[in-house]
């Protein structure tokens, strides 16, 4: 079972998500909170969650700050942002703070459920409507020697550095394989090698590493 904590300042949305998402047999709703501060209090009080559905704009402690604090204190928890605002700055900052993905609230419930399972498996998830915007922001610009050396000095090959950049754009292994004309199995092997060289746990950490160390 995947335990999910729902964080949204709108009580109607909280209860709707609790009902709809909780209908999936693989998911249990472990709790609900009105903002990031309340979510942290629940976690500190012993509530468990594998994935947090987090609204991006809330009073007291919004989703961007809530994600940062939760990921710092509970790095094993995945955070999936939910919002009606396709705001580039908020999205990028949430990803920098450790969010595993981003979905718009107006998508069907089954897509939200699939998103939960996707990030639970360690993948990143970015809604197609904003992926094109993010691509331009996350794609490596012409790099200085020092930027390129961040990855090269860690032993990554040119192919591995390219894959790191594509992971940071939110592409799946299948999408990367299609773009590079390689098999999905080959990409999985590359990702395993990259994780070992960078001493990281999963694809989300690869993307965060890239955003903080290379794009910063």
Which of 15-24, 113-122, 206-215 is the least confident region? 206-215
Grade residue 143 by pLDDT with cuts at 50, 70 and 90: very low
Q: What is the pLDDT of residue 142?
A: 45
User: SS3 of 41, please?
Assistant: helix
Question: For 35-71, what is each residue's pLDDT tens digit?
Answer: 999 999 999 999 999 999 999 989 999 999 999 999 9
Angle between helices 173-180 and 184-198 (to 10 degrees): 110
CA–CA gap between residue 122 and residue 168 (Å, rounded): 13
Written as six digits, the tokens of 164 are: 């790191």
More confident residue, 97 or 47: 47
Domain spans in the chain, listed from the N-terminal domain onward: 2-136, 139-214
CA distances from 36 to 6, 17, 24, 194 (A): 10, 17, 25, 32
CA–chain centroid gap for 136, Å, is: 18
Question: What's the pTM?
Answer: 0.65
CA 209 vs CA 132, 166, 204: distances in Å = 21, 13, 9
Q: Class of the 2-136 domain?
A: alpha beta
CATH number, domain 139-214, options 1.10.10.60, 1.10.10.10, 1.20.120.1230, 3.40.50.300: 1.10.10.10
């Amino acid at each position: 079972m995947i335990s999910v904590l729902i964080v949204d300042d709108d009580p109607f949305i909280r209860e709707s998500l609790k009902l709809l998402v909780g209908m999936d047999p693989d998911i249990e709703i472990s709790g609900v909170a009105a903002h990031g501060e309340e979510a942290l209090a629940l976690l500190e009080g012993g509530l468990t969650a594998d994935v947090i559905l987090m609204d991006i704009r809330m009073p007291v402690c919004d989703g961007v700050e809530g994600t940062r604090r939760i990921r710092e204190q509970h790095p094993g928890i995945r955070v999936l942002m939910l919002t009606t605002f396709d705001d580039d700055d908020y999205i990028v900052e949430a990803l920098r703070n450790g969010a595993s993905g981003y979905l718009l609230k107006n998508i069907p419930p089954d897509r939200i459920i699939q998103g939960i399972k996707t990030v639970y498996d360690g993948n990143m998830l970015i809604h197609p409507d904003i992926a094109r915007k993010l691509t331009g922001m996350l794609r490596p610009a012409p790099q200085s020697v020092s930027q390129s050396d961040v990855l090269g000095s860690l032993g990554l090959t040119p192919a591995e550095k390219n894959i790191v950049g594509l992971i940071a754009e939110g592409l799946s292994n299948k999408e990367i394989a299609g773009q590079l004309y390689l098999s999905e199995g080959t990409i999985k092997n590359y990702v395993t090698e990259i994780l070992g060289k960078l001493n990281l746990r999963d694809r989300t950490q690869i993307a965060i590493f890239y955003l903080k160390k290379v794009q910063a």
